[in-house]
Amino acid sequence: MLRIGGLQKFSLIDYPGKVAAVVFTQGCDFRCPFCQNVNLVLSEKFSDAIGEEAVLDFLKTRQGQLQGVVVTGGEPTIQKDLGVFLSKIKELGFLVKLDTNGNNPDAVKEFVDKKLIDYIAMDVKAPLKKYDESAGIAVDKKNILKSINLIMTSGLDYHFRTTVCKAFLSSEDIKNLLEIIKGAKRYDLQKFSYQSGILDSSLLDKPDYTADEFEQLAALYSVGIETKA
Asked if 211 contacts 227 with a C-beta cutoff of 8 angstroms, the reply is: no
Rounded to 5°, the CA angle 13-71-15 comes to 25
The smaller minimum CB distance to ligand SF4, of residues 150 and 199, is found at: 199
Q: Residue 94 Cβ, how far from ligand SF4 at the closest point, in Å? A: 23
Q: Residue 155 Cβ, how far from ligand SF4 at the closest point, in Å? A: 25
With 0-12 / 13-18 / 19 or more C-beta atoms within 10 angstroms meaning exposed / middle / buried, residue 90 is middle
Q: Residue 115 Cβ, how far from ligand SF4 at the closest point, in Å? A: 25
Strand, coil or helix: 65: coil
- Positions touching ligand SF4 (CB under 6 A) are 28, 30-32, 35, 37, 41, 73-75, 101, 123
Strand, coil or helix: 89: helix
The smaller minimum CB distance to ligand SF4, of residues 36 and 154, is found at: 36
The smaller minimum CB distance to ligand SF4, of residues 19 and 38, is found at: 38
Q: Residue 103 Cβ, how far from ligand SF4 at the closest point, in Å? A: 8
Strand, coil or helix: 100: strand
Tell which residue, 76, 32, 47, has the closest CA to residue 199. Answer: 32
The smaller minimum CB distance to ligand SF4, of residues 37 and 222, is found at: 37
